[in-house]
Amino acid sequence: MMPLAIKAVLSGLLIALIAEIGRKLPAVGALVASLPLVSVLGMILLWNARPDAENMAIHAEATFWYVLPSLPMFLLIPRLLRAGLPFWAALAAGCVLTVALYLAMMQVGPRFGLRL
């Protein structure tokens, strides 16, 4: 199993790379950030730790459903910034919205047969 420190460094490098690309080319940085790199890396690490097809299927499907509540944040933040709200306030509002939508997904999802 890969030590936790190596996993953390690899994840940090991905984030730093995205930030550097975004600093120079915002649209390209956004494209790279939108790629499911962290999800794919997480699935690879999970598979190495526990190669169980059903566990991986549950993980991948739940990841899909948990991505959906995070998407409105990426519409709210630019709207608030363009309305003159400071960055940190817009980011906080986006995060609060996302947490609220995650909680709603966790409550509503199982009622529709979602395994979350």
Same domain, yes or no: 40 and 73: no
All residues at 6 or more sequence positions from 85 whose CB lies less than 8 Å from its CB, including other chains: 93
Report the run of H or E that residue 92 belongs to, with start and end. Answer: helix 87-108
Chain center to CA of 11: 13
Separation CA 101–CA 10 (nearest Å): 29
Same domain, yes or no: 35 and 68: no
> What was the pLDDT predicted at 1?
56
At position 54, the amino acid (one-letter code) is E
Check pLDDT > 60 for residue 68: yes
Number of domains observed in the structure of the chain: 2
Same domain, yes or no: 37 and 70: no
Same domain, yes or no: 45 and 73: no
**What mean pLDDT do residues 6-25 have?**
90
> What was the pLDDT predicted at 43?
93
CA atoms within 13 Å, Cβ hemisphere of 86 = 3
Long-range contacts at 4-12 (CB < 8 A, ≥ 24 apart): 7/45, 10/41, 11/38, 11/41
Check pLDDT > 70 for residue 2: no
Question: Which domain does 114 fall in, by range?
Answer: 57-116
> What was the pLDDT predicted at 38?
82
Check pLDDT > 90 for residue 23: yes
Same domain, yes or no: 97 and 73: yes
In degrees rounded to 5, what are phi and psi of residue 97? Answer: -60, -45
